[in-house]
Structure 1
Amino acid sequence: MDRVIVYVDDAAYAQQVLAPLCGRPASARTHWVLVACAPRMTHRVSKWVSHSTRENWRTKWADKLFAQIVPTLQAPSGAVTTVVAKGPLAELTAQLQADGDSMATVAPVVDARRPKSEPVGRVDGRWSSASGTLGSVLTGFGVLWVLALE
């Protein structure tokens, strides 16, 4: 059985990424290892919340995420294992690769996490979140003009 390790943090985006992989004929004999990558808590929040409360929140968040993704992967009768990431992904990947059934093949890793940056440009007649970048560029040009004129 082929193993595929998939990192997810958003169900809708992950389903778009995984749709082509689930449609192939070999997906019926694929063992999917879903790794939930929970959002990071800010320093201010984590200062006031206990470790067990953070772990409970992370587990509940992952259960909701898995409830949305697992049915689409099990439809072609593939096996699914769920894991919640609690540390660096490089270490977790090495551990999951070592836990594999056969040491001869390395399981492919699919990063189905939503990208953090948004495209630059106009969206629906207004500037996207990159407008702050435009302001920074214009300020930089203004400073350069002032320096050039001195």
Structure 2
Amino acid sequence: MNRTTFIVYVDDASHALPLLTSLATSFEATNPRWLLVACAPRITHRASKWASHRSRENWRNQWADKLFAQLAPSLQRPEAQADVTQLLARQPLPELLAELQQTYGQVQVVDARRPKREEPAPQRWGPSGLIAGIGSLLAWTLGEAIA
């Protein structure tokens, strides 16, 4: 029997948990193989200047362990024979995907990462800037009127 292999990219347990629970119940009869790939958040340039490579790797490993502890139980049900493998992405995802496809053959990829919000373009005059500008204008006008 061919097992369905799922590669699931995750970076936030609260975001991914409902999707994983739904997938696990949908595919539990097919005896799936789950490859949970933790995609750790990037460490800022400023923080990376002060932390050694070893401490950054330790932080990533601890972060991934905490993430897997929250997500793996939703896939490892007692009634299902699911196989769950936990991986921490240490290379770009396209390269990792190519390696996993060579190892496991045909796979289904599920991106359960939290979507990144696009930051709005900086606005010169938002509501608070407009109010501050009007207040400054009134203060200047009153100061000129009194003098």
Preserved contact between residue 27 and residue 78 of structure 1 (Cα < 8 Å):
no
Question: Quick one: which amino acid aligns to residue 24 of structure 1?
Answer: S
Q: Which residue of 2 aligns with 1:108?
A: 108
Question: What is the CA–CA distance in structure 1 between the aligned matches of 2:89 and 2:116, rounded to whole Å?
Answer: 18
Partner of 2:4: 2
The alpha-carbon distance between structure 1 residues 27 and 83, as it changes in their structure 2 partners (threshold 3 A), is farther
Structure exhibiting the larger radius of gyration computed from Cα positions: 2
Q: Deviations over 1:25-55 (max 9, x none)?
A: 4455000000000000011111111111111
Task: Calculate the aligned-residue CA RMSD, in Å.
Answer: 2.1
Per-residue Cα deviation, 1:43-96 (whole angstroms, up to 9, x for no partner): 111111111111110000000000000011001331100000011000001111
Task: Deviation per CA, 1:85-139: give whole Å up to 9, x if none.
Answer: 0110000011111111xx4xx2010000001117xxxxxxxxxxx7x5594698x
Match of 1:70 among 62, 69, 72: 72
Separation in structure 2 between the aligned mates of residue 70 and residue 78 of structure 1, nearest angstrom: 10
Change (3 A) 1:74 1:28: farther
- Partner-residue secondary structure (3-state), 1:109: strand
* Compared CA separation, residues 17 and 68, structure 1 to 2 (3 A): same
Note closer, same or farther for the CA distance 1:55–1:21 as it changes in structure 2 (3 Å cut).
same
Q: Distance in 2 between matches of 1:137 and 1:21?
A: 46
Higher mean alpha-carbon deviation, 22-31 vs 106-115, is at: 22-31
Where does residue 100 of structure 2 map in the other structure? 96
CA distance in 2, matches of 1:99, 1:52: 29
Q: Which secondary structure state, in structure 1, belongs to the residue aligned with residue 34 of structure 2?
A: strand
- Structure 2: distance between partners of 1:58 and 1:51: 11
Task: State the TM-score, normalized to the length of structure 2.
Answer: 0.75
Q: Counterpart of 1:49 in structure 2: which amino acid?
A: A
Cα deviation for residue 19 of structure 1 reads 2.6
- Cα distance in 2 for partners of 1:19, 1:83 equals 19
Correspondent of 1:87 among 85, 91, 102:
91
Please list every run of at least 4 consecutive aligned residues from structure 1 whose deviation after the TM superposition is greater than 3 angstroms.
Answer: 25-28, 132-138
Residue 145 of structure 1 aligns with which residue?
Answer: none
Percent sequence identity is: 50
Q: How many residues align?
A: 122
